[in-house]
């Protein structure tokens, strides 16, 4: 954005259109945020202190939990403050910063989920060479590449924003979100929309396609296992990841990969709450409830406290 921008702050509508929902929404977001902090914090602590969880899968899971902690913190405290604010304004610098950080974290999660799918493919397709293929340096490189690529893609989108605002400063959203911001601009946003589409292909469609192909390969290997117990064990290591992928990618694709002419502002902002607030809370629940190793680590902690 350039120096000719007349608008210096934006009004976030949030839940203002539905005043009767303010208290229920506030309680929902508060419970969700506290659960996000507790659940993801617990996962990180367990993985750090339990030697049995020092494996590639849990290394990537700790990255995912840290990412979810940051992702929830970017938007949920602000949504809580704005629930009962008469004029929930956000300055332009804060708006741009929040939008960029949220975009960066969402992109990182997309890429990290693809990396975790690759980890599961190696573990199931080639278990004897798993520790050799997914060694420490490789895991660090894959995680660092996900974070680094996300930073580059975010910088490309943010630096391409050269928008003019003609007085309208009302954003129909809980946070500063890039699509909502583009709708306020009175300048030509076709290039920005193209950049978002290209970025969406690299961060949503290609990783999602890679994950689908990974699970096709996993299914091919699993179907060759004659033991029912062995088949269930192989599937159990993928169930949690597949559940998270379905929730996150489903909501993100439905928001960013559809024609903007067919978008509904109210529907889009509530979908964004789903993958921006509920997904970070659900991830640790999904992994802990479906994972014996995590449940065993929690049991050990509880025993030590007693």
Q: Is the pTM of this model over 0.75?
A: yes
Q: What percent of the chain has pLDDT over 70?
A: 82
Q: What are the structural domains, with CATH classification, of the chain?
A: 9-304 (1.20.1070.10)
Closest by alpha carbon to 157, among 185, 207, 194? 194
Classify residue 75 by burial, with Cβ atoms within 10 Å: 0-12, 13-18, 19+.
Answer: buried
Query: Which of left, alpha, beta for 105 (phi over 0: left; psi -120 to 50: alpha)?
Result: alpha
Task: Kindly report which listed range (121-130, 134-143, 273-282) carries the lowest average pLDDT score.
Answer: 273-282
In the three-class reduction of DSSP (H, G, I as helix; E, B as strand; rest coil), residue 240 is classed as helix
Q: CB count, 10 Å around CB of 238?
A: 21
Task: Kindly report which listed range (132-141, 196-205, 265-274, 280-289) carries the lowest average pLDDT score.
Answer: 265-274
Give the model confidence (pLDDT) of 35-76 as tens digits. 889 989 988 988 888 888 888 888 998 999 999 999 888 888
Task: Kindly report which listed range (113-122, 131-140, 271-280) carries the lowest average pLDDT score.
Answer: 271-280
Query: Which of left, alpha, beta for 167 (phi over 0: left; psi -120 to 50: alpha)?
Result: left
* pLDDT band at residue 82 under the 50/70/90 scheme: confident
Q: What is the spatial distance between Cα 145 and Cα 115, in angstroms, rounded to a whole number?
A: 10
Q: Please check whether residue 177 is in contact with residue 102, taking contact to mean a CB–CB distance below 8 angstroms.
A: yes
Q: Please check whether residue 193 is in contact with residue 182, taking contact to mean a CB–CB distance below 8 angstroms.
A: yes
In the three-class reduction of DSSP (H, G, I as helix; E, B as strand; rest coil), residue 233 is classed as helix
- Tell me what pLDDT residue 146 has: 93
In the three-class reduction of DSSP (H, G, I as helix; E, B as strand; rest coil), residue 66 is classed as helix
Q: DSSP labels for 102-145?
A: HHHHHHHHHHHHHHHHHHHHHHHH-GGGHHHHT-HHHHHHHHHH
CA 51: distance to chain centroid? 27
Give the model confidence (pLDDT) of 221-256 as tens digits. 887 776 777 667 666 667 777 878 887 787 777 766
Cross-strand bridge partners of residue 170? 11
pLDDT beyond 60 at 6: no
pLDDT beyond 50 at 30: yes
Q: Please check whether residue 297 is in contact with residue 269, taking contact to mean a CB–CB distance below 8 angstroms.
A: no
């Amino acid at each position: 954005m350039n120096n000719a921008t007349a608008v210096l702050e934006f009004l976030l509508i949030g839940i203002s259109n539905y005043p009767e929902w303010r208290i229920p929404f506030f309680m929902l977001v508060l419970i969700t945020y506290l659960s996000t902090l507790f659940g993801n914090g617990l996962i990180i602590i367990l993985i750090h202190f339990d030697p049995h969880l020092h494996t590639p899968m849990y290394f990537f899971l700790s990255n995912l939990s840290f990412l979810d902690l940051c992702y929830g913190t970017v938007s949920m405290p602000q949504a809580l403050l704005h629930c009962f604010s008469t004029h929930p304004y956000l300055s332009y610098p804060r708006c741009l910063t929040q939008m960029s950080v949220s975009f960066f974290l969402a992109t990182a999660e997309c890429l990290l989920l693809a990396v975790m799918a690759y980890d599961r493919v190696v573990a199931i397709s080639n278990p004897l060479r798993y520790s050799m293929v997914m060694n420490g340096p490789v895991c660090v490189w894959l995680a660092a590449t996900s974070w680094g690529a996300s930073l580059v893609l975010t910088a490309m989108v943010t630096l391409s924003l050269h928008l003019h605002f003609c007085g309208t400063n009302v954003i129909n959203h809980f946070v500063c979100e890039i699509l909502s911001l583009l709708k306020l601009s009175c300048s030509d946003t076709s290039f920005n929309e193209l950049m978002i589409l290209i970025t969406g292909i690299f961060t949503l469609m290609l990783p999602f396609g890679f994950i689908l192909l990974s699970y096709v390969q996993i299914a091919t290997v699993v179907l060759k296992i004659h033991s029912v117990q062995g088949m269930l064990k192989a599937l159990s290591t993928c169930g949690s990841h597949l559940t998270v992928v379905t929730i996150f990618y489903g909501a993100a694709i439905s928001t960013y990969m559809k024609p903007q002419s067919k978008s509904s502002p109210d529907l889009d902002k509530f979908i964004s709450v789903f993958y921006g607030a509920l997904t970070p809370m659900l991830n640790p629940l999904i992994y802990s409830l479906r994972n014996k190793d995590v449940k065993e680590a929690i049991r050990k902690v509880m025993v030590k406290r007693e």
